[in-house]
A and B are shown apart, each in its own frame.
Chain A
């Protein structure tokens, strides 16, 4: 099934659910399905139980951080210049607000098919970062969602045990975010232009 077919089936089965097919520019270029967060859990159950898909195996859950981006594209517009209609190029700038994203790679062990790629997006990167947890559907998401909560700060509502996975308790930041500033290292590479380096260089 193509992503477009899956999309129309989801939208037909779940009223009010909006699914967007996100394109992919890579060489194999498999498009993914961006499901709106209110209906993500229902859509996940639908995909798992769908007789033609039977996506019983959620392999990989990855968090992605998208910063605010500005895209400028050139558009051809027709305008009236001195009473004559002319074609002119205009640069339009559109702002894509930053958001966090959880990407689920779903396979079917039963049918030996896959993957179907599901994306669930948060509203923004700062305060509205809740999306529903898909752990009730696939338990393999349990630790991976915890990891995303830890490293990206997405809050998965409905997760049975949402705690930090890799960083320690009491750590406050989210180190995989693109704007994360690490604390100064004390065991990184030595600066050879520093005192020790000059001594070593001298022999």
Chain B
């Protein structure tokens, strides 16, 4: 019968319309500014630099090795290496970034800088409401804006951050254990 298919199709729309009152499955909309979805742990947006402790400048894990600058596919990271060195978390003297900038208007959130970083210094942030009225300076983030605490890292990626902390703890313990036998013979002499 002509029109039968149309009626059958309308039955599906009716089922979905009335069903949306009963089933959460059929109504998945999140009313955004009022309602917010909890982001997934793996969620990523733009990179940030992790620092330990309270020192935004002194606790920065980055040692300015320039690997991320070289590996970044759109080349949006720029690092100026320091002239002097400062001790890192195991006490080894390391360079630090005199300047570290990311042009987030070019960054494509691919996470490759995070993967290649051997020092767990750069991680992905989840913040996404970042609009600005200055499309040049407002989107070129310096060290000041990029540096975020380890606590922040724990808050957004708890599992991953715990693993990183454990690994760094082991490294530190290994470094201390290595330093001790080296120190003892010196005392004996």
Contacts and interface: CB of A to CB of B under 8 A. Distances in A.
Q: Do chains A and B touch in the complex (CB under 8 A)?
A: yes
A189 B76 contact: yes
B140 interface: yes
Contacts of A190: 103, 105-106, 136, 140
- Shortest Cβ-Cβ A-B pairs, 7 listed: A192-B101, A201-B142, A200-B140, A192-B78, A189-B106, A196-B136, A200-B142
Contacts of A189: 74-76, 103, 106
A101 B101 CA distance: 42
Interface of B: 74-76, 78, 80, 99, 101, 103, 105-106, 136-137, 140-144
A196 B142 contact: no
A193 to B, nearest CB: 7
A188 B142 contact: no
A184 interface: no
Interface in A160-203: 188-193, 196-197, 199-203
A39 B74 CA distance: 44
29 contacts: A188-B106, A189-B74, A189-B75, A189-B76, A189-B106, A190-B103, A190-B106, A190-B136, A190-B140, A191-B78, A192-B78, A192-B99, A192-B101, A192-B103, A196-B136, A196-B140, A197-B78, A197-B101, A197-B140, A200-B101, A200-B137, A200-B140, A200-B141, A200-B142, A201-B101, A201-B142, A201-B143, A201-B144, A202-B142
A188 to B, nearest CB: 7
Contacts of B143: 201
Contacts of A199: 137
Q: Which of A191, A193, A196, A200: most chain B CB closer than 10 A?
A: A200
A36 B56 CA distance: 66
Given A188-B106, A189-B106, A190-B140, A201 B99 contact: yes
B137 A196 contact: yes
Nearest to B141: A200
B42 to A, nearest CB: 26
A192 B103 CA distance: 8
Nearest to B76: A189
A203 to B, nearest CB: 5
Nearest to B144: A203
Contacts of B75: 189
